[in-house]
Amino acid sequence: MKQTEDSSLYYFEEAPIPKAIAHMSVPMILGMSINMIYSIIDAFFVGKMNNTAMMTAVTLALSVTALLMAIGNVFGTGGGTYISRLLGEKKLEQAKQVSSVSFYLSLLAGCTFMIITIPLLHPILQILGAKGDAIPFTASYILVFIIGSPFIIANFTLEQIVRAEGASTISMNGMFLSVIINIILDPILIFLCHLGIAGAALGTVIGTMAAVAYYIYYLRNKSTILTISLKTFKPNPIMLKNIFKIGVSAFLLDSFLVVSCLLLNNFSSQYGNYAVAGFGISQRIVQLSEFISMGLYMGVVPLIAYAYTANNLKRMNKIIKTTAAYILILTGTISLALFVFRKPVFYLFSMDENVINTGIYILMAMLISSLFAGITGLLIAIFQSVGRAKEATIMSMTQGILLIPCMILGNYGFGLHGVIWSTTVAEVLTCSIGLGLWINFKKKTNKNVSSSSTEFESSLEWL
């Protein structure tokens, strides 16, 4: 029976490839872009307090938010890709159970994180690399995030769960709601309520809580497939295995991001607060390019997973090919534009010439890195979508494993220059290894295909 455009399955099964990608990825790109805009506005408001130590604290706290995202992605990526594969197999009841289990496990993980980390706040500050004037600001900033961690983790999970059934617009709306509330509250909490940097964090948590409430409302009242009813909270070994085998790869990917942030914070802090601030501002600017790529490859994950389990391999590979082309074209164009207008953009965040000069140099390295990061992300997304835990885990670990020696050797061999370019070197190597894994996976798959499976073989010809 032909699906209508109002049906999520229409985009999974029948929509033209560019239309299906646009339906799933454009809302994701818009949602992530508005999050990037908020991040810039947040830095703008903090910058208006004319305190480099505060800007340093915001940068140091990125490791904590990355860790919360990593935990959320265990259940969001693990549960979301599993749901899409189940939908491809028409196992709707199991998909309902996975959505419920993923949500409640994310809440439990958030509560556990909060209970463990609050007593360890001061050791965490040392690990983050907070020094001098930045210590009290970093403490007040991350404490708010720790208290709000159950909602932050659940938000990352639910955003992917609703997208797993094709509700990409709902996913985007939740992001928009969170950011809009955030932007409204920031100046009120920071300046009118005199909460300073803690006000910026509180605005983020309140916005996240609103997004979680929105997703819960959708899943309870509007979703035609998924649910978060306690009645369907029925975890079993097979379900947990399928959630965690891919969720762990997502966790490792984000955890190594935390490690890289910690290394970056500690190494850059050796060269002064201006270097840490330069990295922080550059990271926010380059997010525009990175979020376009992330929106594309994260958006098509349900499409790839559904097509794979539905044995529509020709459609799956066309989705991958088209997405890769979009990533290269869009990321390259945006990176070039950011590079051309780099100096005026930096002046929006700081008037300190040391921060500006160092930050512009850092930005150049990050923009080059983002080109390779987009393809790396797509390769990881493919392996996660088709349930290839081995390849997904290897890819997730490779970047972090390579980055650590690159950054250490770069720091001791070339100083700040080495620290700046270490991420780019690691990203190029990771992308190369990922392409090698994909080619090897393709060859193994071809060997297992019978001589009568000519359609499958032809679907891989473009590779």
Determine the straight-line distance between the first and last CA of the chain, rounded to whole angstroms: 32
Confidence band of 143 (pLDDT split at 50, 70, 90): very high
pLDDT at site 458: 44
Summarize the confidence of residues 132-159 as an average pLDDT: 92
Map 25-48 to HEC letters. HHHHHHHHHHHHHHHHHHHHHHHC
Express as a percent the part of the chain with pLDDT over 90.
32
pLDDT at site 445: 58
Higher-pLDDT residue of 3 and 433 is 433
pLDDT in tens, 281-333: 787 778 777 888 888 998 898 999 899 888 888 898 899 999 999 999 988 89
Summarize the confidence of residues 354-360 as an average pLDDT: 77
pLDDT at site 8: 61
Contact 376, 290 (CB under 8 A): no
Average pLDDT score, the chain? 84
Summarize the confidence of residues 437-451 as an average pLDDT: 66
Contact 418, 409 (CB under 8 A): yes
